[in-house]
Structure 1
Amino acid sequence: MNAFEIHGGKPLKGEIIPQGAKNEALQVVSAVLLTKEKVTISNIPDIKDVNKLIELLGDLGVVVQRISKDTYSFEASNINLDFFQSETFRSKGGSLRGSIMIVGPLLARFGKAAIPKPGGDKIGRRRLDTHFLGFEKLGAQFNYNAETGFFNVDATNLKGTYVLLEEASVTGTANVVMAAVLAKGTTTIYNAACEPYLQQLCKMLNRMGAKISGIGSNLLTIEGVSELNGTEHRLLPDMIEIGSFIGLAAMTGSEITIKDVQYNELGIIPSVFRKLGITLELRGDDIYIPPHKNYEIDTFIDGSIMTISDAPWPGFTPDLLSIVLVVATQAKGNVLIHQKMFESRLFFVDKLIDMGAQIILCDPHRATVIGLNKQVKLKGIEMTSPDIRAGVSLLIAALSANGRSIIHNIEQIERGYQDIDTRLRLLGADIKRIDAMPPSH
């Protein structure tokens, strides 16, 4: 079993380029199914979740060509719809949460699709109801086969309609948008997610000939068209990676420049890290983080303890709350981390407590962090990564800690972070990949 061995406590230095955005990739790569013409996408991250989706498209009959390390062309002119009933699709689709994203495009273009119950992170209930209810509003009919574990979907007559989403789900919005672009008539989606990644998808679809207005707001209007054309598209840099590297720099006292960050698409992410006392300088479109001997958490104007919570965009992304929590352990001051959107994402704090962090886990959603102000360094331990974001948070903790740490289950980290050990070594990190069995409990 692969694990990372880390000898921490050393400041890092250098430049790092964020990978393309994983969450955007899963949407725009699925969108190639909406046209028979060639679509070329660049800045695609070389990570398992995205590679598995690309492989799944190839199995469906999409002609996939890898032009360079981060650029692919896709031509979905000859799709094998029988593949949906195969055991191969069941095993591949079921292990990949992103496989749900192909349903909207397939319903739009072919009027039918199937989906096995998807897998993914164990971070609480991530319901797919938003996707299914949206498709049903457009006229799709679902039939769940308990024996095979498949949802079969019939959508031979999709019609535009008014859709009020129960939650501003990014993937749910994207899927309903992709289904609606080829539906007859006009679709209005209210309470739509408005993340930059979703904006990117809508802009790409418009270049392909779709008619989507309201991009960037929570009210999208889509006039159905009869067909879409090919296009070229470049992914945004991954904002979660950018936030992770900001936290890493502060925590390890490192001088790091994060290159080409598309700063205007980062929303309130930089200001949340500034609330933790972290200094960021914008140089062109790069973020420069000077070495921090310490950093102090702000308080609210009335002097009360700072609370940092997640919320749908343009609020703070839940994917960075675990990073903020780790970084706060070495800050001066206290902060309440409130994870509102998922109920199990804070359960990794027991590992941080074992490393010496001062954290009170109040309940599944809230943790109070008492900052150590770098007076007492964390100590290296052996631990296991429970999910992508917690895994990277533990990796940051290990890089800042005194002594040796081992992190097991790094496949979880590598689902979201491309060549992370190689890129960190270029900054001077002492990290290597080893074969090690996780400790038995």
Structure 2
Amino acid sequence: MASFEIYGGKPLKGELIPQGAKNEALQVLCAPLLTAEKVTISNIPDIIDVNKLINLLQAMGVKVEKVETGTFIFQAKDIDLDYLKSEDFKKRAASLRGSIMIVGPLLARFGQGFIPKPGGDKIGRRRLDTHFEGFTALGAKFNYDAGEHFYSVEAKKLKGAYIHLDEASVTGTANVVMAAVMAEGTTTIYNAACEPYLQQLCKMLNSMGANITGIGSNMLHIKGVKTLGGCFHRILPDMIEIGSFIGLAAMTKSEITIKDVSWENLGIIPNVFRRLGIKLERRGDDIYIPAQESYEIDTFIDGSILTIADAPWPGFTPDLLSIILVVATQAKGSCLIHQKMFESRLFFVDKLIDMGAQIILCDPHRATVIGLDRKHALRGISMTSPDIRAGVSLLIAALSAEGKSVIHNIEQIDRGYQNIEYRLNNIGADIRRIG
């Protein structure tokens, strides 16, 4: 198990280029399963979760050709459907939550899809009901082997339907969309997720020959087509990494420019950081964050304590709440962090309290942060990363802290952040990978 050794308290300065979006990659990499033609995808992040999915696709029979760094050609001409029932498939797919995204395309093209209970972050319940309820609405038969924890769906022919999703699940919407693009007739999906990553998937599918309208809204209309073809698709920059870098700049009093952020796809993210008192400005398609000695948390109009909560897009993404919480520890003022979607995602705050932060964990979903206004710097400690976002939040805290910190289990960070220590060391950080 590898660890990071961090020597904090150093201001950083320079430019950072965000990687391709992890959450988009895990969706669009499965779309080539819908066609026998070649599909080229660029700006693919070189991270553990994405590489695991690429390896899984290869094991299934997808030909993968690397064109250059971050750009690959995929051709799913000869898929080995028998492999989907093998022990090797079960082992590979179970190690990656994103593996659930192969089910919709397989069902659409081959009439069957299989998946073991996927792995991923230990951040609370992440149910799959939305995916399979959507498939059954299209006419598929669902089976679950409780002993093997193995899911399967089968359908001789999918037929378009009106589907009102029980939650605006991004992966659930994406999976049902990919199942519906070749279904007979018209499918309407209401309460659909409308995140930029889902919009990207729909645009990619349309470029392959699908007929999807309502993109960007919570109601999608899909007219089924008989076949799909190849295309070229470029993945957006990762909004979660962009938000992480904004928080990093504030915590470490650093002057940082984040390049090519696709500003129009960031939604309210910049304004939420501004409500924490962080100065940032748009320069073309870049974000410039000046070095700040202090930043003050806003209040609501009536003077009551600011609450920052996650919500489906265009609300604030839950993946950045851990970053917001860490940044608030050194602000002037207080705020309430309300993590609605995952009941275990705030359980990393004990490490921040050990570092000297003033945080009250109200319950599994809420934490009150009393900002230190930099009067007391965080202190370096030894800690373990529980999940991707908490891991990078602890890394940001360690970079702002006095002295040496050690973060264990950094494989969690590697799952979502590409070469993070090299990129941050290039602008003045002191991070060493050990073990």
Shared fold, TM over 0.5: yes
Q: Which letter does structure 2 place at the counterpart of 1:34? A: L
Match of 1:38? 38
Report the Cα distance in structure 2 between the residues aligned to 1:411 and 1:427, rounded to whole angstroms.
Answer: 23
Match of 2:113? 113
**How many aligned positions are there?**
435
Q: Which letter does structure 1 place at the counterpart of 2:132? A: F
Match of 2:394? 394
Match of 1:370? 370
Q: Which letter does structure 1 place at the counterpart of 2:167? A: E
Match of 2:253? 253
Structure 1 range deviating more: 149-158 or 270-279: 149-158
- In the TM superposition, what whole-angstrom CA distance separates every residue of 1:60-95 from its partner, at most 9, and x where no partner exists? 111100111100000111111001111110100011
Q: Which letter does structure 1 place at the counterpart of 2:426? A: L
Match of 1:64? 64
Report the Cα distance in structure 1 between the residues aligned to 2:149 and 2:284, rounded to whole angstroms.
Answer: 51
Match of 2:301? 301
Instruction: Indicate yes or no: 2:429 matched with 1:426.
Output: no
Report the Cα distance in structure 2 between the residues aligned to 1:151 and 1:347, rounded to whole angstroms.
Answer: 30
- In the TM superposition, what whole-angstrom CA distance separates every residue of 1:397-429 from its partner, at most 9, and x where no partner exists? 000000000000000011000000110100110
Report the Cα distance in structure 2 between the residues aligned to 1:113 and 1:338, rounded to whole angstroms.
Answer: 36
Report the Cα distance in structure 2 between the residues aligned to 1:71 and 1:24, rounded to whole angstroms.
Answer: 15
1:26 is paired with a residue of what secondary structure? helix
- In the TM superposition, what whole-angstrom CA distance separates every residue of 1:34-84 from its partner, at most 9, and x where no partner exists? 011000000000001100101111011111001111000001111110011
Report the Cα distance in structure 1 between the residues aligned to 2:265 and 2:151, rounded to whole angstroms.
Answer: 36
Q: CA distance change for structure 1 residues 300 and 148 in 2, over 3 Å: closer, same or farther?
A: closer
Match of 2:205? 205
Show the 5 A alignment for 1:10-21.
10-21=10-21
1:167 is paired with a residue of what secondary structure? coil
Show the 5 A alignment for 1:404-415.
404-415=404-415
Q: Percent identity?
A: 76
Report the Cα distance in structure 2 between the residues aligned to 1:282 and 1:354, rounded to whole angstroms.
Answer: 36
Match of 1:357? 357
1:152 shift after superposition: 2.2
Match of 2:239? 239
Report the Cα distance in structure 2 between the residues aligned to 1:417 and 1:166, rounded to whole angstroms.
Answer: 31
Match of 1:341? 341
Report the Cα distance in structure 2 between the residues aligned to 1:331 and 1:27, rounded to whole angstroms.
Answer: 36
Report the Cα distance in structure 2 between the residues aligned to 1:8 and 1:370, rounded to whole angstroms.
Answer: 22
Structure 1 range deviating more: 290-299 or 141-150: 141-150
Match of 2:123? 123
Report the Cα distance in structure 1 between the residues aligned to 2:194 and 2:260, rounded to whole angstroms.
Answer: 22
1:149 shift after superposition: 2.9
Q: Which letter does structure 1 place at the counterpart of 2:363? A: D
- In the TM superposition, what whole-angstrom CA distance separates every residue of 1:268-303 from its partner, at most 9, and x where no partner exists? 000000000000011111100000100000111111
Q: Which letter does structure 2 place at the counterpart of 1:348? A: F
1:117 shift after superposition: 1.1
Match of 1:25? 25
Q: Which letter does structure 1 place at the counterpart of 2:199? A: Q
- In the TM superposition, what whole-angstrom CA distance separates every residue of 1:359-404 from its partner, at most 9, and x where no partner exists? 0100001100000011110000000000000000000000000000
Match of 1:416? 416
Match of 1:262? 262
1:74 is paired with a residue of what secondary structure? strand
1:215 is paired with a residue of what secondary structure? coil
Report the Cα distance in structure 1 between the residues aligned to 2:148 and 2:310, rounded to whole angstroms.
Answer: 37
Match of 1:79? 79
1:145 shift after superposition: 2.4
- Unaligned segments of structure 1, at least 5 residues: 436-441
- In the TM superposition, what whole-angstrom CA distance separates every residue of 1:293-317 from its partner, at most 9, and x where no partner exists? 0000011111111110000000000
- In the TM superposition, what whole-angstrom CA distance separates every residue of 1:117-151 from its partner, at most 9, and x where no partner exists? 11111000000000010001001111222343322
Q: Which letter does structure 2 place at the counterpart of 1:6? A: I
Report the Cα distance in structure 2 between the residues aligned to 1:383 and 1:151, rounded to whole angstroms.
Answer: 36
Q: Which letter does structure 1 place at the counterpart of 2:392? A: V
- Unaligned segments of structure 2, at least 5 residues: none
Match of 1:94? 94
Report the Cα distance in structure 1 between the residues aligned to 2:332 and 2:152, rounded to whole angstroms.
Answer: 54
1:5 is paired with a residue of what secondary structure? strand
In the TM superposition, structure 1's runs of 4+ consecutive aligned residues that sit over 4 Å from their partners are none
TM-score by length of 2: 0.99
Report the Cα distance in structure 1 between the residues aligned to 2:338 and 2:145, rounded to whole angstroms.
Answer: 38
Match of 2:145? 145
- In the TM superposition, what whole-angstrom CA distance separates every residue of 1:132-187 from its partner, at most 9, and x where no partner exists? 10001001111222343322221211100000000000000000000000000000
Report the Cα distance in structure 1 between the residues aligned to 2:26 and 2:155, rounded to whole angstroms.
Answer: 22
Report the Cα distance in structure 1 between the residues aligned to 2:156 and 2:272, rounded to whole angstroms.
Answer: 46
Instruction: Indicate yes or no: 2:183 matched with 1:187.
Output: no
Q: Which letter does structure 1 place at the counterpart of 2:212? A: I
2:301 is paired with a residue of what secondary structure? coil
Q: Which letter does structure 2 place at the counterpart of 1:243? A: G
1:341 shift after superposition: 1.0
2:24 is paired with a residue of what secondary structure? helix
Q: Which letter does structure 1 place at the counterpart of 2:240? A: I
1:132 is paired with a residue of what secondary structure? helix
Q: Which letter does structure 2 place at the counterpart of 1:90? A: K
